[in-house]
Amino acid sequence: MSPSTPKPRYSADPTHAWGILTPRFWHGMRLGTWLSLLATRQCRLTPRSMITAASITPVSGFNSIAAAWQNFRFGRQVHRQVLAEPPLFVLGHWRSGTTLLHELLITDPEHTYPNTYECMLPHCHLVTQKWLAPLTSWLLPSKRPMDNVEAGWDKPQEDEFALCNLGLPSPYLCWAFPHNGPVHSEYLDLREVPKRDRRRWQALLKLFVKSIAVSRNRRIILKSPPHTARVKWLLEIFPRAKFVHISRDPFKLFPSTIRLWKSLSDVQGLQPDLPEYDWMEGEVLQNLQVMYKAYQEDRELIPEGNLCEIRYEDLTANPHQEIQRMYEQLDLGNYDRVKPGVDRYIERTGDYQTNRYQIPPEIEAKVRDNWGIYFDMFGYGESGSDS
């Protein structure tokens, strides 16, 4: 499959596909955040997407009221919350196996994670999740459209979406109006973001993590690919944080990332009937360079014993061996308590098949020419296999 794979068609049935009635992440915004997004983007809506866009405005008004109620009920408690353990960040490029690694780590009963509901409604999950999640679970598909991984309100999710809905700029906001191209690229590594804005970003991430701890105060496992470029700033707010990085054959990463971004633009976007997104290929190529230039500089800042690097190929070939090595290297405790959960996860997902890709020679050449830093850092040869 090449990066030009046609985008999936919509279905009006929200229980089987990401139809027009299915909640987008932008449904989780407060009214001010949603109106600000509309005001700063070229809102070229199609008749199909107008239904979704029209539904977001009243929902965002409800979110604003619920957010005020959560702040009244839990605001002081969230600010004072002390984390039981420093968080563990799963790092890696999109489609490198971060989801697999995240789900394996949360089989540990001493770990927890932000779920999809909490990332969609980060400002009011403490006062709405118990009753609103069961009422709306039927609206979500059972599988993610890009890779058939299980979906649902209770499934682990990227905290980058929570940051979007908290009103922070993020490269992910391009998926709301994808025809307009990339936005907020400076927030990928935060290096060019003014100090005041970066402090606000750090403060809101810390408060979100604390809000999860109010519900479940165990080690929180966080997974968002952009965090790979933000290690320096993460360490400023969580100095004792632990990190695990996963790498994968770059010739698999590129087409899979293109597929992911197109799928997210289709299912999360408000411009589903507009032309293909010509900007994506260049943006994906550029983002990896920015991400791994930052990671190469920042990983030296991580205290000894707080970073483990693994390969997707090794993890899928020997999951117990790699996870046990990670537990020992990061001092996460006795692996014996984790092994039963890992066994159950492997048994449950044993029939999962990864997508297969055949990319043309000219695309291979672009990947090789632009992603040399990744080939060198993780020892992938010219063919993407071990050097």
Q: Which pLDDT does position 11 carry in this prediction?
A: 34
Give the whole-angstrom CA distance, residue 127 versus residue 33: 20
Q: DSSP for 241-259?
A: -EEEEEE--HHHHHHHHHH
C-alpha dist (Å) from residue 10 to 55, 267, 275: 18, 8, 15
pLDDT at residue 354 in the model: 66
Average confidence (pLDDT) over 300-311: 97
272: confidence class by pLDDT, cuts 50, 70, 90: low
Comparing C-alpha atoms, which of 297, 287, 276 is closest to residue 250?
287
**CA 249 from chain center: how many Å?**
20
Which pLDDT belongs to residue 381?
A: 80
pTM (2 d.p.): 0.91
Read out DSSP for 8-71? PPP-S-TTTS--TTSPPGGGGS-HHHHHHHHHHS-----HHHHHHHHHHHHHHHHHHHHHHHHH
Better pLDDT: 2 or 196: 196
pLDDT in tens, 320-333: 999 999 999 999 99
Residues 6+ apart with CB under 8 A from 114: 156, 157, 159, 162, 208, 212, 220, 222
Distance CA 99, CA 116 (A): 13
Q: What is the dihedral of CA 155, 220, 101, 143, to 10 degrees?
A: 10
Pairing relationship of beta strands 88-91 and 111-112 according to DSSP bridges: unpaired
- The string of DSSP codes covering 178-236 is GGG----GGGTT-TTS-HHHHHHHHHHHHHHHHHHHHH--SEEEEE-GGGGG-HHHHHH
Strands lying side by side in the sheet with 242-247: 111-112, 219-223, 88-91, 242-247, 307-311
Q: How confident is the model at residue 9 (pLDDT cuts 50, 70, 90)?
A: very low
Model confidence at 146, pLDDT cuts 50, 70, 90, reads low
Domain ranges of the chain: 25-378
The predicted pLDDT at position 15 comes to 35
- Distance of CA 112 to CAs 35, 117, 175, 323, 353, Å? 33, 14, 28, 17, 26
Q: pLDDT per residue over 117-129, tens digit each?
A: 999 999 999 999 9
What the block records as the tokens of 94 is 């999109």
Domain topology for 25-378? Rossmann fold (3.40.50)
Section 282-306 average pLDDT: 97
**Average pLDDT of the chain?**
89
Does residue 1 carry a pLDDT above 60? no
Backbone φ and ψ for 252, nearest 5 degrees, come out as: -90, -35
CA distance 121 to 137: 14
Residues sharing a CB contact under 8 Å with residue 313, sequence separation 6 or more, in sequence order: 248, 249
For 379, the token pair is 């020892």
pLDDT in tens, 346-365: 998 876 556 667 788 999 99
Closest CA to 291 of 385, 185, 183, 180: 185
Could you tell me which residues come within 8 angstroms of residue 102 by beta carbon, excluding any fewer than 6 positions away? 90, 113, 156, 221, 223
Which value, to the nearest 10 degrees, does the dihedral of the CA atoms of residues 310, 314, 320, 323 take?
Answer: 10
First to last CA, the chain: 25
DSSP state for residue 170 in the 8-state scheme: -
Beta-ladder partners of 222: 89
pLDDT score of 2 more than 50: no
Residue 21 has a pLDDT of 56
Residue 387 burial (CB count, 10 A) = 11
The pLDDT-based confidence of 267 (bands split at 50, 70, 90) is confident
